[in-house]
Amino acid sequence: MSGAADAEPPAKTRKSGAGNGGGPTHPLIDIHIHQAPDRLQAQGMKGGGRRTEAQFLAHQKAVYAVGGVILGGNDYDYEFMRQEPGRYVRFAAAPAPGGDRAAAIEKALKGGARGIGELRWEGDTPFTRSILDLARDHQVPILFHFQESDHPAAVYAEFYRTIEKYPTVTFIGHAIDWWGAIDRNYSHTGGRYQRGRVTPGGLTDQWLARYPNLHGDLSAQSGNTAILRDPDFAKDFITRHQDKLMFGSDCTCTTGGMPTCWTGIKLVALNFLQLSAEVQRKIYLTNAAKLFNLKTG
Ligand SMILES: [Zn+2]
Ligand SMILES: [Zn+2]
């Protein structure tokens, strides 16, 4: 979250949809949200920037989001979830390294979290296996952030072994390596946001085709780069994996408007591809609604 975004007036004082580049056109479910509850923010907890729940709801309204997945929402009490059950689910994440992270995640699952994430992929470690056992036993999806450059043990090319070990677990992939590896020539040593035409046959593309339990989230700058670096490839990729990909933003801004809102930027990028109406409906709304049992209207 940027300081500039912090300085914006509260969204409720702005007109709905103001500054969002002409207005959103698709009802959507955002599967990649970070938002702390007001009560914990008052106690100084970090996460989701300093956006209040009211600002978050105004942001969702401005981008026509009808629901979503609150990552790291753990077993927290959100007023907007109480008001309208069936629109949002909470995922469990261990906020800080240290302590028994798996126990913290298990506690949140027992407290009503309906998934695990977002978590850094750390490789096939005892912690990874313990949380995948939890995902399997609680029958909940798990969302991973892949970034080998930060975690040398987290070798992306080996991730498929874990998918194969847990065939009943629903995996959702996101971030630098996930999107970089749509290209068969991808190496994380080449930088975070690699540009230019995609060489088909990347690991992410192969795995999405091979494993029915693997899904992807379109969030963040990595998702935008993948969409925009080679729009012809992106249109083909999204169309081929139309039943596996879901809209996500990773946006923590307060306004839901352009030009700094990740949700707005992604809508512009996706609209640029001119995907079919059926594909749009799936990736914006119905894939996530089915996976997380959420309302669509
Ligand atoms: Zn995130
Ligand atoms: Zn935003």
- 252 CA from centroid of ligand 1 (Å): 9
pLDDT of residue 42: 73
**pLDDT greater than 50 at residue 19:** no
- 250 CA from centroid of ligand 1 (Å): 5
**pLDDT greater than 60 at residue 233:** yes
DSSP state of 285: I
Among the bound ligands, the one closest to the CA of 117: 1
DSSP state of 72: T
**pLDDT greater than 80 at residue 103:** yes
Q: Which domains does the chain have, with CATH numbers?
A: 25-292 (3.20.20.140)
Residue for token pair 């677990």: 169
Kindly give the residue spans of alpha helices, DSSP state H, lying in 141-219.
159-165, 176-180, 203-210
- 60 CA from centroid of ligand 2 (Å): 8
- Torsion angles phi and psi, residue 256, rounded to 5: 70, 35
With cut-offs at 50, 70 and 90, classify the pLDDT of residue 255: confident
Q: What pLDDT digit, counting tens, does each position of 150-167 carry?
A: 988 999 999 999 999 999
Containing H/E element for 216? strand 214-217
- 14 CA from centroid of ligand 2 (Å): 14
- Are 172 and 144 contacting, i.e. CB atoms less than 8 angstroms apart? yes
With cut-offs at 50, 70 and 90, classify the pLDDT of residue 24: low
Q: Show Cβ contacts of residue 285 under 8 Å, excluding neighbours closer than 6 positions.
A: 26, 27, 28, 29, 66, 247, 296
Residue 45's CB is within 10 A of a number of other CB atoms, namely: 13
Among the bound ligands, the one closest to the CA of 48: 1
Q: What pLDDT digit, counting tens, does each position of 61-86 carry?
A: 999 999 999 999 999 999 999 999 89
Q: What pLDDT digit, counting tens, does each position of 177-218 carry?
A: 999 999 999 999 988 898 999 999 999 999 999 999 999 999
The rounded mean pLDDT for the chain is 89
pLDDT of residue 39: 86
- 56 CA from centroid of ligand 2 (Å): 9
Query: CB within 5 A of ion ligand 2: which residues?
Result: 251, 253, 261, 263
**pLDDT greater than 90 at residue 149:** yes
- 56 CA from centroid of ligand 1 (Å): 15
CA atoms within 13 A on the CB side of 36: 15
Structure token pair of residue 220: 């963040």
- 246 CA from centroid of ligand 2 (Å): 17
Residue for token pair 């992306």: 156
**pLDDT greater than 70 at residue 21:** no
pTM as predicted = 0.89
With cut-offs at 50, 70 and 90, classify the pLDDT of residue 45: low
Name the amino acid, one letter, at 23: G
Kindly give the residue spans of alpha helices, DSSP state H, lying in 52-111.
53-62, 79-83, 101-110
pLDDT of residue 104: 94
